[in-house]
Structures are given as C-alpha cells and as structure tokens.
C-alpha cells in the first residue's frame, strides 16, 4: 500500500512539475440590421457574450479548463439571456513555433430565459478545432472555428397548459458566424 501511495505521489509530482495555470476568456459582440421591404420595418439585433475561463496544462499536449459565461441576444421585440458553463479537455495536435493547432472536447450546460418567460436548459457535447498563437512567454491568443457535436435542448413556457418541448440535435457548424476569439495569460 505504501509503495502504491509513493508511486501515485511521484506521478502527481511529475505532472505538477510540467503543469501551468492560465486564465483568459473571450468577449464577443455582434450588431445586425434587417430591413423588410414588404412591411417597411427595420429590426436591429444585438448579441453579446462574455466567457472568462481558467485552465491547467497537465503537460505539453493535454490541458483541462472550464469557461463560465453570459449570453445576451435581443432586439426591439424581445431578448434572450443565458448563463453557461463549459468544461473541456484540450489536446494539442501539432505545434509550429508559437502556433499550436488543437482540439477541445467540450461538455456544456446553459440555462436561458426570454421576454415571454420561456426557460431553456441545453446540454451539449462536442469537439471544437482551434489555433493558439503565443505572443510572448505568458500571453497568447486563441481562436475556435465551429464545432462537431450533439445538443439536447428542453424548454418550457409559463403559459397555462404549456408542456415542455425537447429538441435533440447532432451536427457541425463551421461557418464564419461560429468564429470565437479569446486571449489567455499563463502564470
């Protein structure tokens, strides 16, 4: 038993010697205007996301991290707000000097509400490709483009007699709208 504890302690010390904490996150804002020529109406939509995160490099190839964030989507007619948590495991696929290409295996949960009291719970599981660029010894930038994954969404409105609706989806999204850019600091 003592030998097993000693081996476990040595393995943990080896991992911890190469490990490094980092903090960072992403911030996003989109403004969109739709002009409907048939009804002569104009709708301005605002999307805002803030997602701070903390991570731990286990070694040169593996990291664990989690992002906690807030989403807002709104226009003059309605708005939607949500809180989410996305823990993930990162595997660095290949490195070229200060540039690393990686895959993030993500598990996520989001709770959202809107102006008509619809409450939504979303669970997701997916893989997101990304690129990291070191801008110095401790500072770097990261970008994700899209995701391949599965989502389970359940929502219910507070209207009398309303029932829950469940949506189950699997797919991929690699459009320009799915670009996410962030910054991190290692210490």
Q: Where are the beta strands (DSSP E) in 75-164?
A: 79-96, 99-114, 118-134, 139-145, 147-157
Domain that holds residue 73: 21-186
Alpha-carbon distances, residue 35 vs 4, 42, 43, 45, 47 (angstroms):
68, 5, 7, 12, 18
Return the number of other C-beta atoms located less than 10 Å from residue 51's C-beta: 19
- Return the pLDDT at 117: 79
Residue 11 resides in a domain: no
- Return the pLDDT at 17: 52
Identify the three-state secondary structure at position 68. strand
Residue 52 resides in a domain: yes
Each residue's pLDDT tens digit in the chain (187 positions)? 566 555 655 554 554 455 599 999 988 888 888 887 777 778 888 888 899 999 999 999 999 999 999 999 888 778 889 999 999 999 999 999 999 999 999 999 999 998 777 888 999 999 999 999 999 889 999 998 888 888 888 888 776 766 777 777 777 766 555 678 889 999 8
Residue 12 resides in a domain: no
- Return the pLDDT at 67: 95
Please tell me the distance from the alpha carbon of residue 151 to that of residue 15, in angstroms, as a whole number. Answer: 33
- DSSP-assigned letter for residue 98: T
- Return the pLDDT at 89: 97
Residue 13 resides in a domain: no
- Return the pLDDT at 15: 47
Please tell me the distance from the alpha carbon of residue 146 to that of residue 175, in angstroms, as a whole number. Answer: 7
Kindly state the tokens that stand for 144: 């994700």
- Which of 73, 66, 64, 69 has the alpha carbon at shortest distance from 51? 69
pTM of the model: 0.76
Q: How far is residue 132 CA from its own chain's centroid?
A: 15
Kindly state the tokens that stand for 26: 């992403």
CA angle 47, 111, 44 (to 5 degrees): 20
Identify the three-state secondary structure at position 161. coil
Residue 15 resides in a domain: no
Residue 3 resides in a domain: no
Kindly state the tokens that stand for 160: 């009398």
Kindly state the tokens that stand for 148: 């391949």
The total of structural domains in the chain comes to 1
CATH number at residue 140: 2.40.160.20
- Return the pLDDT at 83: 96
Residue 16 resides in a domain: no
């Amino acid at each position: 038993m003592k030998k097993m504890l000693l081996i476990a302690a040595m393995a943990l010390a080896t991992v911890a010697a190469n490990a490094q904490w980092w903090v960072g996150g992403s911030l996003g804002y989109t403004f969109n205007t739709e002009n409907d020529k048939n009804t002569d109406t104009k709708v301005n939509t605002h999307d805002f996301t803030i997602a701070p995160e903390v991570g731990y490099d286990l070694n040169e190839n593996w990291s664990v991290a989690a992002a906690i964030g807030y989403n807002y989507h709104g226009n003059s007619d309605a708005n939607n707000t949500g809180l989410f948590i996305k823990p993930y495991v990162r595997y660095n696929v290949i490195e070229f000097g200060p540039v690393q290409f990686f895959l993030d295996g993500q598990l996520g949960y989001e709770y959202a509400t809107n102006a008509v009291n619809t409450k939504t719970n979303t669970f997701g599981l997916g893989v997101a490709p990304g690129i990291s660029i070191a801008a110095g010894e401790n500072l770097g930038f990261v970008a994700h483009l899209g995701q391949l994954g599965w989502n389970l969404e359940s929502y219910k409105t507070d209207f009398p007699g309303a029932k829950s609706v469940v949506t189950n989806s699997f797919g991929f999204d690699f459009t320009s709208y799915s670009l996410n850019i962030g910054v991190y600091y290692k210490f």
